[in-house]
Structure 1
Amino acid sequence: MTGREEPTAGRRRPRDRRRQIVAHARELFVDHGFPNVSMATIAAGVGITAGALYRHFSDKADLLRAVCLDGFAYQDDPIRDATPEAFIDGAIAAVSARPYLGVLWFREIRYLPPESQREMRARLRRWTHSFLPVLGRARPELDDGQAEILAWSLHSALAGLVTRSGRVPEDERVAGVRTAMSVLIRTQLVPTGPWMPTSPRRLPQSRRERLLLAATEQFGERGYSETSMANIAAAAGTTGPNLYGYFESKADLLRGVLDRGRHAAWFVLDRALAEADSPESALHLLVEGQLRLSRTWTRWVVDPEIGDELIAGTQRAQSEYIDEWTALVCEADPAAGRLEARMRVIIATAILSDLGRTPRVSARTTFASNVQAIAMAVLHGDQPAPSS
């Protein structure tokens, strides 16, 4: 046995070798993270040499691009001329068949070269904009900005199908996404306002706070392993020696970021519980607070390379936070089962996080009003929202 891909007597090279490589690489990237997978490991998994693998792909980034293009190939075939019900069914069928999409999009795509990232985002925009004709036929009164924010909300709702949450079975997930998408298509919005003037974000004077903000941004954009302390120091407008005066290592800085994000979210929750006079008003306050956090502390993505202990602690804190929202949804709508309520929360918080970082919709003066109305509609499910 030579282990080589070249055909020998009695064995031919499989015609679908490239597809085998892409499928195996996707599995490894999703399970272990792009930085932790070598070309040699991928080659061994499909029974070829590393040299044979390089005849198919020039490097690991080229292979990741192939994995992403294959995973998101459904975006090249948008759902056209469909009723809202047929559109929802078709979109759910396309996404639910690919449970790995959430990890690819939110975690792995950032390891692509910049031009490939732009290519993937352009494909996503085209597919999301293909929702507009369906919305136009169902809601001819919508202005262009209203239709666009609903289209992006529908896309975020679909992410609920590929969110890694073992606490919500697949059938409940599908049912929750279907209901949320139906609700979104009917959500009433205020007319779209003008673009907001852009101004630079005001930063705190504290150097430690600037470092935490810079680290959150850099970890979110680059991933933990690809972010250096020099990257973070430069983004914060300081130098490495100054950084090490506050944090002894990158792992120490990561713990600071995770702690700050967790504390920020729980301060929002504590305010909602303390000031609200009903579960409904508590949910309103939570939605407002979560939206404010969407550009900073909620953008962190858990990477496999940060270590099992930190991953487990972060996931446990996230789950406990979602539990608090879920309890409020159940109080506001006693007819909702706990799993149904949890899916409403997962989808609503995803919409707030995603749209808060989507300049195409978030730069409008009416963005906060409309995205909060969208999130509250999802949290209510099929129940009519109480009058304010």
Structure 2
Amino acid sequence: MSVDNRRAGPSSPPVRARGRGDDLANGPGGARKSEEPARPVRRRPKNRRAQIAAAAAQAFGSYGYHSVSMEDIAGGLGISSAALYRHYPSKYALFQEESLRVGQAMAESVRLPPEAAERSPEIRLRQVLEGLSTVTVANRASVTLVRWEGRYLEPADREVRAGQETAVLDALDTRLAAYAPGLRSGDRRVLVIALLSTITSIADHHAALPPKSLVALLVSTCMNLTGTALPPPADIEPVPPVEIPESFKHELLLRKGVELFHARGYPNVSVEDIATAAGLSAASAVYRFYRGKSDLLTAAFRRAAERVSSAIGPAVAAAGGPREALDSLIDQYVEGSFTERELTFVYYTEFQHVPAEERAALRNVQRLSVDEWARLVRQVRPDLSGPQSRFLVHAAFALVVDLGRSFGTVPVASQERVALLMRTILYGPPPA
């Protein structure tokens, strides 16, 4: 797909095709010899603008903002680009409107009516979680925009979006503080991020559940998280970078590429940037190791996918049961994510930029890994269905990247705490 924000020029006046009957006169008066049937009048649908917004959200969510053009969106709707430009002046206008619309809907969903003040703190917390979950499920395709693509908003719009997210986080924090007044502010903030991560994680995958069942699953999982007794914060030891020998240029390029993709976003990084970061004299040197930056991104994604998939067999073989196997996998997943924070983040934000044929293979590896985790979860919790367990596995994975990008190396988000929250999502609350 190409990226083209150029506005279409004014369309030419329509020219009616001349039919043969226009030239066949029946006598000197020039009357038609035979009347043609009247063409049906095609009326523009009243909800065309909403249709465009929905189609754009689906395209942006699937392929990323930079990989979608106005022509792609128009083609998906079966209309011309000129018709699309009558409703939106640019691709950015579409992206901005849908991003802020969903962000505002999420912010409004956590506002309780005045009569809720008389209800218990638990009921008010559940109401907020249910309202936010319902809006998120209803706008699942568009939530991807506010979750991962917000950095491509222009500064003023990014500020509006940040205010919307703050409104959601503050509402969750207020309700959680009333429900669990003994929580320290730092612990409460960790749990608030975990709640929002669990709910919005549904935008990261395509597993399916009926809306009501999905909302119920999200709310119950969030309530389990609110009861998690977090251990004392522990210092997060900085992970020393692995020294790469000069002869291993392909490894150095891979690391520098991932760091740049994480910092700037894949579309804003050039092969020249990667070459410079790796200390190479010219971009042409990169092509001795990778066919281009998409090839480099694919190599990074293969590594991330294999890190998860290759751990499953040994963990299951060495464990005495599904719970022990899952405990081992959780610890390995958290440790690997902390070691390669940039790669973990890039894996979520840049997947749509992997070439289509590679993307299909990587999705298959990811699906098989999730299925294996979900199988183990169901052995621990036989009350769950297959789809429910897959949603929980995706939520547990998302939790790690969301806490990492929110807290970095702050002790309140140590490996031990993150692993415990993953277990709470997958296992449910510990026995009383």
The residue correspondences of 1:309-324 to structure 2 (distance < 5 A) are 309-324=357-372
Greater shift in the superposed pair: 324-333 or 80-89: 80-89
Equivalent position amino acid for 1:79 in 2: R
Cα distance in 2 for residues equivalent to 1:275 and 1:120? 47
The residue correspondences of 1:277-356 to structure 2 (distance < 5 A) are 277-294=320-337, 295-299=341-345, 300-301=347-348, 303-356=351-404
Q: 1:88 aligns with which of 109, 129, 138?
A: 129
Partner of 2:17: none
**Residue 55 to residue 172, structure 1, CA distance change in 2 (3 Å):** closer
Cα distance in 2 for residues equivalent to 1:279 and 1:42? 45
Cα distance in 2 for residues equivalent to 1:4 and 1:130? 52
The residue correspondences of 1:158-307 to structure 2 (distance < 5 A) are 158-166=199-207, 168=209, 170-192=211-233, 202-206=241-245, 207-220=249-262, 224-239=266-281, 240-294=283-337, 295-299=341-345, 300-301=347-348, 303-307=351-355
Partner of 1:369: 416
**Residue 37 to residue 333, structure 1, CA distance change in 2 (3 Å):** closer
Instruction: Quote how far apart the aligned CAs of 1:189 are.
Output: 1.1
Instruction: Quote how far apart the aligned CAs of 1:26 are.
Output: 2.8
Deviation digits for residues 97-149 of structure 1 (CA, Å, limit 9, x no counterpart) = 10113432355334334564455345323322320111111111100111000
CA contact (8 A) 1:111 1:222 kept: no
Cα distance in 2 for residues equivalent to 1:188 and 1:93? 27
Q: 2:111 aligns with which of 76, 79, 88?
A: 79
**Residue 272 to residue 11, structure 1, CA distance change in 2 (3 Å):** closer
Deviation digits for residues 26-59 of structure 1 (CA, Å, limit 9, x no counterpart) = 34433554334334565785978759938964x4
Pairing 1:65–2:96 present: yes
CA contact (8 A) 2:125 2:172 kept: no
Cα distance in 1 for residues equivalent to 2:81 and 2:356? 31
Cα distance in 2 for residues equivalent to 1:323 and 1:11? 47
The residue correspondences of 1:149-164 to structure 2 (distance < 5 A) are 149-164=190-205
Cα distance in 2 for residues equivalent to 1:269 and 1:163? 21
| RMSD after superposition | 3.7
Cα distance in 2 for residues equivalent to 1:133 and 1:305? 38
**Residue 250 to residue 334, structure 1, CA distance change in 2 (3 Å):** same
**Residue 4 to residue 275, structure 1, CA distance change in 2 (3 Å):** farther
**Residue 292 to residue 24, structure 1, CA distance change in 2 (3 Å):** same
**Residue 235 to residue 73, structure 1, CA distance change in 2 (3 Å):** farther
Structure 1 or 2, whichever has the larger Rg, is: 2
Pairing 1:53–2:96 present: no
Pairing 1:378–2:420 present: no
Instruction: Quote how far apart the aligned CAs of 1:270 are.
Output: 4.4
**Residue 246 to residue 28, structure 1, CA distance change in 2 (3 Å):** closer
CA contact (8 A) 2:271 2:293 kept: yes
Q: What secondary structure does 2:241 align onto?
A: coil
Equivalent position amino acid for 1:202 in 2: P
Equivalent position amino acid for 2:230 in 1: L
**Residue 168 to residue 23, structure 1, CA distance change in 2 (3 Å):** closer
State, as a whole percentage, how many aligned pairs show the same letter.
25
Cα distance in 2 for residues equivalent to 1:327 and 1:46? 41
**Residue 384 to residue 160, structure 1, CA distance change in 2 (3 Å):** farther
Instruction: Quote how far apart the aligned CAs of 1:24 are.
Output: 4.7
Deviation digits for residues 289-341 of structure 1 (CA, Å, limit 9, x no counterpart) = 22233314333135445333212111111111111211221232334333332
CA contact (8 A) 2:107 2:168 kept: yes
Equivalent position amino acid for 2:404 in 1: G
Q: TM-score, normalised by structure 2?
A: 0.74
CA contact (8 A) 2:330 2:419 kept: yes
Cα distance in 2 for residues equivalent to 1:211 and 1:168? 41
Equivalent position amino acid for 1:349 in 2: F
Cα distance in 1 for residues equivalent to 2:321 and 2:309? 18
Partner of 1:127: 168
The number of residue pairs the alignment matches comes to: 376
**Residue 15 to residue 345, structure 1, CA distance change in 2 (3 Å):** closer
Deviation digits for residues 314-369 of structure 1 (CA, Å, limit 9, x no counterpart) = 11111111112112212323343333322221211111222122227x51166222
The residue correspondences of 1:19-34 to structure 2 (distance < 5 A) are 22-34=53-65
Greater shift in the superposed pair: 127-136 or 60-69: 60-69
Partner of 2:20: none
Pairing 1:145–2:186 present: yes
5+ residue gaps in structure 1?
none
Q: TM-score, normalised by structure 1?
A: 0.81
CA contact (8 A) 1:129 1:148 kept: no
CA contact (8 A) 2:319 2:325 kept: yes
CA contact (8 A) 2:197 2:402 kept: yes
Deviation digits for residues 190-242 of structure 1 (CA, Å, limit 9, x no counterpart) = 24467x68x68524324322322233344455555443212333444444244
5+ residue gaps in structure 2?
1-9, 14-40, 118-122
Instruction: Quote how far apart the aligned CAs of 1:167 are.
Output: 5.2
